[in-house]
Structure 1
Amino acid sequence: MTEREVNTQCGVSRRRFLRDAGVVSAAGAAVAVGAAHIDGVQAQENNQGCKSAGCDYDVVVIGGGFAGVTAARDSSKHGYKTLLLEARNRLGGRTFSSEFAGHKIELGGTWIHWTQPFVWGEVERYGLQLKETPEHHVPGKDTLSVIHEGKRIELAGKDLMSAVEGIYAYFAEARKLWERPYDAKYTWNQLSAVDAMSATDRYAQLSLTPLQRTVVDAYIAGISHTTSDKASYADVLRWWSLPGWELSQFSDSLGRYTFKNGTISLINAMIADGKPEVRLSTPVAKVEDKGDRVLITTQQGDTIVAGAVIVAVPMNVLPRIAFSPALDPALVAAAKETHTGSGMKVFVRTKGKLPVEGKYTGIADSQQPLSLVTTYAKADDHTLFACFGSDPDKLDVQDRDAVQQVFESFFPGIEVTECYSYEWTLDPYSRGTYCSYRPNWLGKYYDHFQQDRGRVIFGQGDHGEGWRGFIDGAISAGGKAAKRTQTLLG
C-alpha cells in the first residue's frame, strides 16, 4: 500500500480510509513520502551510552510529532541515550508532507511566521529555505467571494471595509484578555470571567450586521477548526493576540510562510542533528513508573526500561496508553471530551488557469461545508486550492459532484477534477486536528495540563502558553520537557 492510498481522494470511501489508517498506523505496512529515513541500529551506535543504572535508555520519548522530535533531539544533545517511539510509519505527527497535482503540499500543519519564535529559531538554526503562499499572489488583484444567506457576494469597496470593521469589533477585547499571550495567569481573572462563553455567545454582545457575522464566523471556523458554538471565545481571542492584535499580521502569521521542502525538512534536520534512536510503527501500550525507573511496554509486547519518559502524543489519544500510577483524572476527562479541532483540510484541483491575476478566496460561515477556499498554486492547465471546513461529515471529499457543487457556489463556472485530503479525525493516533479549547476548559483543565508525575514528563504540543496547537507550540513544549527531564536526571 502506498502513502497516497492511505489518504482520501475522490472515489475512495471514508470506510476504507478508516480501515487503512488503522492498519497502516499499527502495522507499518506503508512507506510514507518524506518520512525520516533513520536506521535504528546506526542511530543507536551514534547515541551516547546509557547513564541511568539498570536502564536501556536514559530517556524514551513517546510520539514523533514536532514536540516529540524536539524532545528527543534535545535530550540526546544533553548527553542522554535517547529513544523516540512513533506509532505511525513516519515522523511528523499532525504535519504530513506530500505531493498532489505536481505541487508540494502539507496535509496537516503548514504555515509558520517570524512572530512564532521557536519554529523561526529552528529555521535560522538549520538554514532551511522557505516559500510564500499562495503562489503567484498579486496584491490588489484578488477576488473575494462570500456565501451569505445562500447567495454569493463579491466582497469589495464598502462591503469589504464593513467586514474588516466587524472583525475588529469582534476581537476588540483581545488585548484586555490576553495582554501577555504567553502568560494566561497574568489576566486570569479576566479570562475566567469569559471562560464559559462560546465564540457564538460573543455575537449577542455586539451589533454586527448579518454580513459581518458571516465573515467573522468564517475566521472563527479557521481558528478553532469547528463550528463557533463549540469553540471557546477566550481561546479564539488568544490567536488574535499572539501576532499583535492586527489583521494583516494575523493573516500573515497564519498563512504566508511555509517550508520550501516541506515540514519534514525540519523534522529530518532535527533527527540528523540530535541522532536519537528512532523506532517507527511502534505504538506504546503501557507506561509504568516504578519510582527509580520507568517500564514502557509496546503493543508488540516488548518492554523498554528508561530513566525517564517524555509523553508527546496528542491529548485525544492519551487514553490509548495505560499509565501506572493512573493519569490525573482531569487529563482523562479532557481527552475523552476531546478538544474542538475536528475539521478538515482538502486540496482541490480545478481545470484551467484562473482567468485573472491574483488569487481567488471564498469564505462562508462555520456551519457551511467549507468555510475557507483559497488559491494555493497555479499552473498553465490547472489551479490548486487549499480548503478548510469545520466538519468532515458535511462534505464527502471523495464525491467530486458534491465538491463541485460547493465550488460552484463560490466561483461559478469552475470545474473540479480531483481532491486530496487526510482525515485526521479518523487517524487513531491523532483523533483530531490541531488543538483548540472548548468553553470552560481554562477553569476545568488548565492547571492539570503539562504537569509532570514522577519520572513521566508531559511535553504535548496541545498545551502550554503562546502558540499551543501550532508547530511553534509543539517545539516549545518538547524543548521545555527535555529541559525538565535534564533537571530530573541530573
Structure 2
Amino acid sequence: MGKKRYKTTRQGLNRRSILKNGLGALGAVALTAGGNSVNATASKDSTDREIDKYDYDVIVIGGGFAGVTAARELRQAGLSVLILEARNRLGGRTFTVKRDGKLFELGGAWVHSTQPNVFAEINRYDLQLVDSTPSTIPDLLWWDGDEARDAGMSGIAPLIRMAACGNGAPEGEPSPPMVTYQGFAIANEQMHQFHDGAAHSFPLPYDPFSTDNWQGADTLSVRDRLNQMDLSPSFSPIIEGLLGASVHGDFDQASYVEMQRWWSLVGSDITRYSDSVSRYSFKHGTQSLINAMLDDGRPDVELGTPVKEVHDLGDHVKIITSTGKTFTCRSTISAVPMNVLSKIQFSPALLSQKVRASEEGHAGSGMKFYIRIRQNIKPILMLASEQDPISTIMTMASPNEGTNLVAFSTDPSQIDPNNHAQVQKLLRRFLPDVDVVDTLHYDWHLDPYSKGTWCVLKKGQLTNSITALREPQGRIYFAGGDIDLGWRGFIDGAIATGNQVGQKVARLLNARTTPIYKTEKMAAGAHIDTTLNQCTVCHSTDASGKASVGPNLRGKYGQPAASASNFNYSSGLSESNLTWNEANLDRFLEDPAGTVPGTTMGFGGIKDPNERNAIIEALRALK
C-alpha cells in the first residue's frame, strides 16, 4: 500500500450531547486541513516492501497534547503517522471556546516557565501569553461556615518575615491592622505547614523514583494530612479553598504525595505556586499550540473515530474502530486518559496493574466553570471548605462591563453551573447584591473520552500503578499527562510524555533523526473557510448526512426543524413547527432556549449579529 497524502478528515461522533452553555456552537481547535502537506521518505534502515504493506508506520490513539506531540516527533523522524481522535476536535482535555469575543479555556489552561516542556514549545513557536488572572490580588475572602471574613494584602510581606524570623513585627515597620494581612499570612503559613517535607520527598521532582522518601506520604490522603494539622475551624477554609482548586476532587481519595509533588516542582514557594497553576494562559488559546504542532508535523488525522480494539500481532498492530474500520501499522501509541484506557480492548491483554488503575480512576473529579457578573469588582480571591459547593472563586481579566470569575468545586453533584440562581446565592455570601448574568462550563465527567478532569492520583497509586501505566507492551507504547512523572495532570506533562514516547518509537522503528520533507504549497488564492468551526464541534457537515453529537447540518437551511430521520431530536424542537429560514435561524442562534423551550442543545447563544449572519450564510451555502 502506497504512502498517504497527509490530510484531516471528520467522521460522525455518535454520543449524547454533553456540552453546556454555548459549547454546541462554539469554537474548538481549527485544523489546518488543505494547507501544507508533507510526504515523508521512509527510513533507509527499512525496506519499501516492509513499510508499504501497512497503512502507516505509527498510529497514535488520542489527539490531546501527548498524542499530537508524539505524532510531530515521529513525522520529523521521517515516519508516516495517523492520529485517531474520538472527538470531533483535537486538544483532549483542553478546549478553547469563544464567548462574547473572549476566549475561555474549559479544560487545561495555565502554563509557566517552571514547566520546561510546554515553555520550550512556547519559545519554539513564538507564542504569546497573557495574564488571565490578576498578578496581585488585594483582597481575600473566606467563608468560615457562618459568615464571610475578609483580609487584604498590603501587609503580607512584613507578616511573612515575622513568620520566618520570629515573633514580633520587624524593627522599624509599623504593625498594620490585622484585617489587612491576616488571611494571606495564614494561607502562606498553612501551605508551608501542609507541604512540610516535600523537598525531602522529592529532591529531584522530575525523577520521583530516584528515592523512596515519598512512599510514606503516598499512604496518606489529603484529608489525612489536613487532620494531622489540627486547624482552627475558622481558618481551615483558607487552605481547603486553595487546595480545592488543585486537588479538584475528594480530599479523602486524593493522595497527599501529589500535593507534595506540586509544591516541590515550584521550589516550595507560594507565589511561584500560584503563578504556575493559575496565572498565565495562551493569548490565542491552547488551540494555538496544537495548531502549531500540527503544522510542524503534518500527520494524518481522523476525527470522530473512537478506537474499539488494538491487536498486537507481533510484527505489526491492527486497530479496529467503533465503526468497524481497520488500520494496520508497525507500532501504536495509546495517548488516551488513564480513566478510559480500560474501555479499549487490547490483545494481548493489558497488564493487570494498568487495567486496575484505569477502572479505579484517578481523583480528579471536580468542576471548573466561569461566572459572569453584571458588576465591576476589584480583583479578589474567595475560598471555602472542601464540603462547600464552590471551594474556590477568583477574578479574571474582565471585559469593560461586568466581571468574569473562574470557580472550582470538588464535588460536581453539589453544584449546577447552569442554575444561575444557585450560583448567585453562593456568590452573594461573599459579595452581596452581585448579579450573575452568565455561566460557562464543560462536563468532563459525562465525556466518555475523558471520564474526569485533570489527573490527581489516589492514595497508593504512585506506589502501585504509575510505573505499570508507563510501561510499553510489545509494539504498543503509552503517553499522556496522566502518567508523567513531573507535571502530571498539566499540559506540560502531556507534552513531556509525547516527546519521550515519540522518540522511543522512532528508535524502535529505526527511523532517522533528520527528517526529509517534500512540501506542497497551498494553491494560489486558496481559502480555508472556518465559519462553521464553532458548529462542527458537535455537528457534522459532510455529504453522507450522518449525524454526530448533533444532526448533520448539510441541506438543513430552508427545511423544517427536526426533519432528519437519523437523529433523535428533543420534544421541544420536534414540536416547535419552525422552518430553518433566515429569521428563525437568527433567533435560535441568539437564544436557543428562549426560541425553543426544552431544547437539549446546551448552547447559550451568539450575541454578535454579524457572527450569526456569517453562520446563516454558511448554512445557506451548505447544500
Judge same fold: TM > 0.5, yes or no. yes
Alpha-carbon separation, structure 2, partners of 1:241 and 1:94? 25
Aligned partner (choices 312, 321, 331) of residue 308 of structure 1: 331
Residue equivalent to 2:31: 37
The answer to whether the aligner puts 1:199 opposite 2:222 as a matched pair is: yes
Cα contact 1:43–1:277 (8 A) shared by 2: no
Residue equivalent to 2:453: 433
Residue equivalent to 1:474: 494
Alpha-carbon separation, structure 2, partners of 1:407 and 1:100? 22
Give the superposition deviation at 1:193.
Answer: 1.9
| Paired residues for 1:211-290 under 5 Å | 211-290=234-313
What is the CA deviation profile of residues 36-55 of structure 1, one whole-angstrom value per residue up to 9, with x for unaligned ones? 3243x877764555762521
Residue equivalent to 2:69: 70
Query: Structure 1 residues 185, 108: CA separation in 2 closer, same or farther (over 3 Å shift)?
Result: same
Cα contact 1:311–1:459 (8 A) shared by 2: yes
Query: Structure 1 residues 279, 42: CA separation in 2 closer, same or farther (over 3 Å shift)?
Result: farther
- Counterpart residue type for residue 476 of structure 2: V
Alpha-carbon separation, structure 2, partners of 1:191 and 1:37? 42
Alpha-carbon separation, structure 1, partners of 2:235 and 2:51? 60
SS at structure 1 position matched to 2:400: coil
Aligned partner (choices 221, 231, 255) of residue 208 of structure 1: 231
Structure 1 residue runs of 5 or longer lacking an equivalent are 1-17, 23-28
| Paired residues for 1:29-428 under 5 Å | 33-39=27-33, 46-48=39-41, 52-134=51-133, 139=136, 142-155=138-151, 156-188=180-212, 190-354=213-377, 358-428=378-448
Percent identity between the aligned chains? 39
Alpha-carbon separation, structure 1, partners of 2:454 and 2:342? 18
Alpha-carbon separation, structure 2, partners of 1:149 and 1:172? 27
Q: Once superposed, which parts of structure 1, at least 4 consecutive aligned residues long, lie more than 4 Å away?
A: 29-32, 41-45, 47-51
Aligned partner (choices 466, 484, 494) of residue 464 of structure 1: 484
Compute the TM-score of the two structures, normalised by the length of structure 2: 0.71
- Counterpart residue type for residue 181 of structure 1: P
Alpha-carbon separation, structure 1, partners of 2:400 and 2:27? 26
What is the CA deviation profile of residues 43-72 of structure 1, one whole-angstrom value per residue up to 9, with x for unaligned ones? 776455576252110010000000000011
Query: Structure 1 residues 161, 21: CA separation in 2 closer, same or farther (over 3 Å shift)?
Result: closer
Alpha-carbon separation, structure 1, partners of 2:40 and 2:30? 17
Cα contact 2:190–2:239 (8 A) shared by 1: yes
Q: CA RMSD in A?
A: 1.9
Query: Structure 1 residues 248, 174: CA separation in 2 closer, same or farther (over 3 Å shift)?
Result: same
Alpha-carbon separation, structure 2, partners of 1:219 and 1:144? 11
Give the superposition deviation at 1:365.
Answer: 1.4
Cα contact 1:287–1:324 (8 A) shared by 2: yes
SS at structure 2 position matched to 1:339: coil
Alpha-carbon separation, structure 1, partners of 2:325 and 2:25? 23
Query: Structure 1 residues 30, 383: CA separation in 2 closer, same or farther (over 3 Å shift)?
Result: closer
Cα contact 2:144–2:235 (8 A) shared by 1: no
SS at structure 1 position matched to 2:245: helix
Alpha-carbon separation, structure 1, partners of 2:121 and 2:115? 11
Query: Structure 1 residues 212, 370: CA separation in 2 closer, same or farther (over 3 Å shift)?
Result: same
What is the CA deviation profile of residues 248-306 of structure 1, one whole-angstrom value per residue up to 9, with x for unaligned ones? 11111111211000000000000000010111111111100000000011111111010
SS at structure 1 position matched to 2:258: helix
Cα contact 2:38–2:298 (8 A) shared by 1: no
Query: Structure 1 residues 395, 258: CA separation in 2 closer, same or farther (over 3 Å shift)?
Result: same
Give the superposition deviation at 1:203.
Answer: 2.6
Number of equivalences: 459
- Counterpart residue type for residue 143 of structure 2: I
Give the superposition deviation at 1:30.
Answer: 6.9
The answer to whether the aligner puts 1:19 opposite 2:16 as a matched pair is: yes
Query: Structure 1 residues 183, 408: CA separation in 2 closer, same or farther (over 3 Å shift)?
Result: same
Alpha-carbon separation, structure 1, partners of 2:503 and 2:240? 39
Give the superposition deviation at 1:231.
Answer: 1.1
Alpha-carbon separation, structure 2, partners of 1:437 and 1:116? 19
SS at structure 2 position matched to 1:134: coil
Cα contact 1:223–1:239 (8 A) shared by 2: no
Alpha-carbon separation, structure 2, partners of 1:376 and 1:203? 29
SS at structure 2 position matched to 1:336: helix
SS at structure 2 position matched to 1:145: strand
What is the CA deviation profile of residues 396-449 of structure 1, one whole-angstrom value per residue up to 9, with x for unaligned ones? 111111011111112112110111100101100000000000111122213212
Cα contact 1:67–1:478 (8 A) shared by 2: yes
Alpha-carbon separation, structure 2, partners of 1:73 and 1:443? 32
Cα contact 2:131–2:397 (8 A) shared by 1: no
SS at structure 2 position matched to 1:466: coil
SS at structure 2 position matched to 1:368: coil
SS at structure 2 position matched to 1:52: helix
Give the superposition deviation at 1:107.
Answer: 0.4
Residue equivalent to 1:3: none
Give the superposition deviation at 1:202.
Answer: 1.1
Alpha-carbon separation, structure 1, partners of 2:335 and 2:248? 22
Give the superposition deviation at 1:157.
Answer: 2.3
What is the CA deviation profile of residues 143-197 of structure 1, one whole-angstrom value per residue up to 9, with x for unaligned ones? 2110112311012423432332122111111111111111111231x22223221
More deviation, 291-300/371-380 = 371-380
Compute the TM-score of the two structures, normalised by the length of structure 1: 0.90
- Counterpart residue type for residue 274 of structure 2: S
Query: Structure 1 residues 470, 365: CA separation in 2 closer, same or farther (over 3 Å shift)?
Result: same
